[in-house]
Structure 1
Amino acid sequence: MRSSLLAATTMGQLQKKLDLISHNMANANTPGYKTRTADFSSLLFQQLNNLSAGDEGATRTTPAGIRQGTGARLGHTNIKMDAGTIVSTNRPLDVALTDDKQFFQVQVNENGQAVTQYTRAGNFYLQPINNNEQVMLVTNEGNPIIGQNGPIVLQGNIDDISIQNNGAISVTRGGQAQIEANLAIVQIERPRSLEAVGGNRYRFPDGALGVNLDDMIEAVQNVNIKVGSLESSNVNLSEEMTSMLEMQRAYQFNSRSISMGDDMMNLINQLR
């Protein structure tokens, strides 16, 4: 039956929306996470005309027939790039960006090549490399953070390390503190053009919008970050719970349509 096919198609798309909502709720406490939203669009429909030959010239105020659709699908997914609330952690390697268009740069290995991606999560760590002779500033997944001269690599034997509000990294050895690196923060004028790649990272899709990426990315000269703090996610749990209930009710409605269609077919089969 057409109604059952329509309901089954829509249920599959509603499940994708529920998965998206669940992903948002699971990352409500992930630093720098941005909410994903989804929009539905109608699939193809069929026009069924019910005019007889003598009614073609008649004046009508109603459609000349009915439209039967084939369900709905998840049209596209958006990322809300609004800045989240800044929460104090008092951890020296936690930093929060104060502008919602600014991003940290991360070096990621893709198919043997080093590519640059972007993140808002500022929970950094030190990872020993080269037999503990050096340390590298990395994300919580171990991806190098890019500074003004490439990935930030520091010599070992560090007594203390701190990040200043202007993005400078101060290292103390033997009671002497000096600036050894600087965070390379960029500003992206159209952050919604980014796509999520997992791990709380973003990148520009291939051939993004047919524009020159150099015109969209600008190095921040006067860096102003908040040290000892993290940007929380911008997930609104009350909105996500409301959306989840709406999707569950829609899913139940379509499931009931299939059950009713099955009952009607059983009734027809029992007719003598």
Structure 2
Amino acid sequence: MIKAYYTATNGAISNQNYLDVISNNMANIQTEGFKKSKAEFSDLLYTNIRGAEGENTDLKAGSGSKINKVDVVFSQGAPYKTGASTDFAIQGEGFFAVQYEDENLYTRGGSFQVTNMDEENYLTYQGGYVLNNEEEPIILKNSDDNMNVGVFVFNNNSDLERAGNNLFRKANEDAEYSLAESSKAMKGYLEASTVEVSEEMVKLLQIQRSFQLNSNVIQTADEIEQTINSLRG
């Protein structure tokens, strides 16, 4: 019964972690350029089941599962027109670059703002400077300026990790990127989130059922253990 208790507990913990992933996806349904996350599970340690006389058998008992990793699905969302001169959507692969004090971060979100700092009008995103093709902050002289927003492509998107606020950072120093050649920034458009409500709701129902099952196993194992202890007493 102790084995069943810990196996079900591991399952309940995995359900909670999976719920966190889905909750984050659903919280960003309306976030422009957001990329959904996908959890991948792996089995925990298996042990051999011995026969009545202690001999080895071909049967194995698992110890539940856990989330092995959470991947970002970098598929492109549908562009939609806003008409705003500071809104941009990337057609094709790549990311916008945003400069902060400590590092450059990257995003598919293109809802930019014009911010006046040091008597200059900068194109900004969440407090950072949006960079142009030369990886320099974009300074606007008037509303009709060609903003020349840079789009950069990484050799491997797995070199990126979430930095929060719809931004990504380089996960390692060896990450290589270059100015996009085939992709372009479309002015007056934004990219929709790739989260599909129906898909996430199905996953949510599956988690709920799995969590209930694991909870029932934990309760049953605990009741049986109490009964065994009372008989010993």
The match for 1:16 is 17
Per-residue deviation, 1:45: 2.0
The match for 1:98 is 91
Amino acid at match of 1:258: I
Q: Is 1:196 paired with 2:162?
A: yes
- 1:213 maps to which of 138, 159, 175: 175
Per-residue deviation, 1:239: 0.7
- 2:136 maps to which of 147, 150, 155: 150
Q: Is the contact between residue 90 and residue 151 of structure 2 (CA under 8 Å) also seen in structure 1?
A: no
Give the unaligned 5+ runs of structure 1: 56-62, 163-169, 171-178
Distance (whole Å) between structure 2 residues aligned to residue 271 and residue 65 of structure 1: 33
The match for 1:167 is none
Amino acid at match of 1:5: Y
- Per the alignment, in what secondary structure is the counterpart of residue 21 of structure 1? helix
- Per the alignment, in what secondary structure is the counterpart of residue 57 of structure 2? coil
Distance (whole Å) between structure 1 residues aligned to residue 10 and residue 161 of structure 2: 27
The match for 2:99 is 107
- Per the alignment, in what secondary structure is the counterpart of residue 233 of structure 1? coil
The match for 1:25 is 26
The match for 1:134 is 120
Runs of 4+ in 1 over 6 A off after TM superposition: none
Amino acid at match of 2:205: L
- Per the alignment, in what secondary structure is the counterpart of residue 213 of structure 1? coil
Deviations 1:120-152 (A, max 9, x none): 11110011111xx1111111x111111125111
How many residue pairs align between the two structures? 230
- Per the alignment, in what secondary structure is the counterpart of residue 73 of structure 1? strand
The match for 1:230 is 190
Amino acid at match of 2:175: L
The match for 1:124 is 112
Q: Is 1:4 paired with 2:5?
A: yes
- 1:262 maps to which of 219, 222, 225: 222
The match for 1:58 is none
Amino acid at match of 2:225: M
Amino acid at match of 2:198: S
Amino acid at match of 1:73: K
Per-residue deviation, 1:262: 1.9
- Per the alignment, in what secondary structure is the counterpart of residue 242 of structure 1? helix
Amino acid at match of 1:213: A
Distance (whole Å) between structure 2 residues aligned to residue 262 and residue 151 of structure 1: 61
The match for 2:45 is 44
Among the aligned pairs, what percent are the same residue?
29
Higher alpha-carbon Rg? 1
Distance (whole Å) between structure 2 residues aligned to residue 235 and residue 5 of structure 1: 33
Alignment CA distance shift 1:17-1:51 (3 Å): same
Q: Is the contact between residue 51 and residue 65 of structure 1 (CA under 8 Å) also seen in structure 2?
A: no
Q: TM (normalized to structure 2)?
A: 0.89
Q: Is the contact between residue 43 and residue 70 of structure 1 (CA under 8 Å) also seen in structure 2?
A: yes
Amino acid at match of 2:91: T
The match for 2:71 is 78
Q: Is the contact between residue 154 and residue 175 of structure 2 (CA under 8 Å) also seen in structure 1?
A: no
Distance (whole Å) between structure 1 residues aligned to residue 183 and residue 191 of structure 2: 16
Deviations 1:67-86 (A, max 9, x none): 22222111001111110011
Give the unaligned 5+ runs of structure 2: none
The match for 1:187 is 153
Q: TM (normalized to structure 1)?
A: 0.77
Amino acid at match of 2:206: E
Distance (whole Å) between structure 2 residues aligned to residue 240 and residue 193 of structure 1: 26
Q: Is the contact between residue 50 and residue 65 of structure 1 (CA under 8 Å) also seen in structure 2?
A: no
Distance (whole Å) between structure 2 residues aligned to residue 193 and residue 237 of structure 1: 28
